[in-house]
Amino acid sequence: MNATPCPGPGFLPSVLPMTTSTAYAVHQIARPSGFPAASDFTLVRTPVPDPAPGTALVENLLLSVDPYHRGLMDGGEGGFELDAPLEGRAVGRVIASRDPGLSEGDLVFHRSGWRTHALVTLGVDGTRRLRGHEGVPLEAYLSILGGTGLTAYAALTRTAGLRAGEDLFVSAAAGGVGTATGHIARLLGARRIIGSAGSAAKVRHLTGTLGFDAAFDYHDGPVGEQLAQAAPDGIDVYVDNVGGDHLEGAIDSLREYGRVAWVGAISMYNGDRSPAAPRNLFEVVHKSLRLEGVLVRNHTNLQDELEDFLVPHLRSGRVGTDTTVVQGIDHMVEAFLGMLRGDNLGKMLVRLTS
């Protein structure tokens, strides 16, 4: 197949003409050192592929950019290859099918993202037909009903076992997993919900729009001190998206028999600053704490349970989808870099159609 790099520096400002015969995919062309640069990527144009027997051709509608993509960009086992389309969660519509399980018009979730068109097979690599709940926007399937929401749901209901009346702290609270954690914890009957985020505007969003009981900007002072002020009586559960000083501060604030659901450590993904291990780890013993990692791929069996739990609240408007949506495949790298920088409120997504 002929592959042509698209001309022009970076990905802005043009919006590429979409035709029925042309496909675009983002390739990685260099390994980032520290924070990635737009020049580590290029947009490649190819003809739209024909589906081989057993596959279906999907036109992608929405694409996800995720913090875990950053780790895969370093290469190594399981990492992204250079000069090949990147991969990630996506939602698209089947436009031609030679897969007996999929029909033209079906909406599917799959993992061949970072491109306009993909060849998929039902049941392979997580490809599934969307349940298509009436009144639920498509964005929900890559945010609160997607891997993001599933991570929060598994962290709260399985790993931490949050009980009604307990107090919760979540870091990166204004992002995808963070906002989903806030919504789900409220529905589960949490008493006080406290969040940290990277700007005053995000703090206002948390305590205003999203109804958090307290929030602080982690740039404004030591996390441990700010958390102690926001939760003077302590917390029962911490959902950790950040690691480093956030985890250390949370361990100080946890009550006896508290639980940490350790979801991510974004403060360390670009090779910067925070120490990997908290200096107060022995408090885990003193306070009989439990610290357990969460990997969403080990909880895919909860997908239907998550949807059954949340869809009525999405329909009623009690829970929102919380997304920041960037338009166009040619802005996908900007969306990814922006998410790493904290430009997003809620889950960062890229929409490919109007």
Note the residues at the interface with ligand NAP (CB under 6 A). 66-68, 147-148, 151, 172, 174-178, 197-199, 202, 241-242, 263-267, 294-296, 339, 342, 344, 347-348
Give the residue with the Cβ less far from ligand NAP, 277 or 295: 295
> Up-side HSE of residue 269: CA atoms within 13 Å toward CB?
19
Provide, for the chain, the percentages of residues in helix, strand and coil under a 3-state DSSP scheme, each rounded to the nearest 5.
30, 25, 45
Q: Which tokens in the block code for residue 116?
A: 């306009």
Give the residue with the Cβ less far from ligand NAP, 52 or 277: 277
Helix (DSSP H) and strand (DSSP E) numbers for the chain: 9, 16
Give the residue with the Cβ less far from ligand NAP, 140 or 296: 296
Give the residue with the Cβ less far from ligand NAP, 68 or 282: 68
Q: Burial code of 195-209, b = ≥16 C-beta within 10 A, e = fewer?
A: bbbbeeebbebbbee
3/284 Cα distance (integer angstroms): 54
Q: In which order are the strands placed within the sheet that holds 235-240?
A: 214-217, 193-197, 168-170, 235-240, 254-262, 290-293
Give the residue with the Cβ less far from ligand NAP, 69 or 117: 69
Q: How far is the CB of 316 from ligand NAP (least distance, A)?
A: 24
Q: How far is the CB of 307 from ligand NAP (least distance, A)?
A: 17
Give the residue with the Cβ less far from ligand NAP, 40 or 48: 40
Q: Burial code of 6-34, b = ≥16 C-beta within 10 A, e = fewer?
A: eeeeebeeeebeeeeeebbbbbbeeebee
Q: How far is the CB of 94 from ligand NAP (least distance, A)?
A: 26
Q: How far is the CB of 21 from ligand NAP (least distance, A)?
A: 34
Q: How far is the CB of 55 from ligand NAP (least distance, A)?
A: 27
Give the residue with the Cβ less far from ligand NAP, 51 or 198: 198
| Cα 44 versus chain centre, distance | 25
| Count of CB atoms situated within 10 Å of the CB of 219 | 11
| Count of CB atoms situated within 10 Å of the CB of 134 | 6
| Count of CB atoms situated within 10 Å of the CB of 148 | 28
Whether cis (ω within 30° of 0) applies to the bond prior to 5 is: no
Q: How far is the CB of 264 from ligand NAP (least distance, A)?
A: 2
Q: How far is the CB of 111 from ligand NAP (least distance, A)?
A: 14
Q: How far is the CB of 284 from ligand NAP (least distance, A)?
A: 20
Give the residue with the Cβ less far from ligand NAP, 112 or 241: 241
For residue 35, CA distances in Å to 12, 68, 77 come to 19, 13, 20
